[in-house]
Amino acid sequence: MTRNLAAKHSGGIVVYDVNPNTLAAIQKEIPKVQVAKTVEEVAEKSRTVMTMLPASAHVEQVYRQLEKIVGPEHQLADSSTIDPLVAKDVSAMMIAKGALAVDSPVSGGVQGATAGTLSFMVGAPSKEGFESIKPVLQCMGKNIVHCGKNGAGQGAKLCNNMLLGITMIGLSEALYLGKQLGLDPVLLSGIINTSTGRSWSSEVNNPAPGALAGAPVDRAYVGGFVNRLIAKDLGLAMKAAHGVDVHPALGGVASQVYGHLASNEDWGSLDFSSVYKWMEEHNDEGFDGDDNARTVG
């Protein structure tokens, strides 16, 4: 994302990360960026501040730091995937300082981030606010959608990722069943991708070896959108659902499945398509996830 922003944005770019090795790698690859020593320094040197952090607590912490600096000249976009209620709260904190604040989680995976074709789901206080931040997001994404007021972007992201988890599990089960019935998973993947069962998981992130060149399976599922991250997102989705008295049956199962994988030291850091491999190796065991995996956020 930083690479695309640097290539397409005409102004300067200031970056900060808690990991100094990450900062060094960014500066080596993109010499035009300035490296800040603190979060506050980013806001002092920038009009637009973008954040992408692991969880709700991290966003709250960073926004409390930014609260000391921001004013009416600032616009902030948080592209983390967090609790929609937290997104509303931190946005309100910035808006109270006169700044524009939006939640702008992304979808599209590593492939979309590299190609600059990410989808941004934006919760903004107004149409004018959305239009103000949109040009920056267009440097990194292709589909920039105003979903509604603050928090709506996070709601859209959680619905999308709940469906993503469900479809990857469904695809993996179908491919494993086909294999046990004597079908070549590569052949079956081709059939699915030209039939009504096709999905992003089957076409872009297919979990079967040999079905899709360059998919995470080609690197033994290392990296990508890892099981711990989708488990976190599914936990957030279930928490949000229960908050509005919705009880998604399949979402709950997906949260349990990925909660089980995320809690395993060997599987937690593998791409979420590795659920197919898990089925191959542990079909007789089932998933012994617990209710906590459905609500943790």
Q: Token digits for 70?
A: 């921001």
> Under the phi-then-psi rule, with left for phi > 0, alpha for psi from -120 to 50, and beta for the rest, what region is 109?
left
Q: Token digits for 174?
A: 């179908």
Among residues 88, 157, 239, 277, the one annotated as catalytic is: 157
Alpha-carbon distance of 286 to 15, in angstroms, equals 44
- Adjacent-strand bridge partners of 49: 76
Alpha-carbon distance of 228 to 207, in angstroms, equals 17
Are 262 and 231 spatial neighbours (Cβ–Cβ below 8 Å)? yes
Task: Tell me which amino acid residue 152 is.
Answer: A
- Residue 93 contacts by C-beta under 8 Å, 6 or more apart in sequence? 63, 64, 67, 101
Q: How many CB atoms lie within 10 A of CB 32?
A: 10
Are 250 and 232 spatial neighbours (Cβ–Cβ below 8 Å)? no
Catalytic annotation present for 157: yes
Alpha-carbon distance of 293 to 230, in angstroms, equals 11
Q: Per DSSP, which regions of the chain are E strands?
A: 14-15, 34-35, 48-51, 75-78, 100-103, 106-107, 118-123, 141-148
- State the catalytic residues: 157
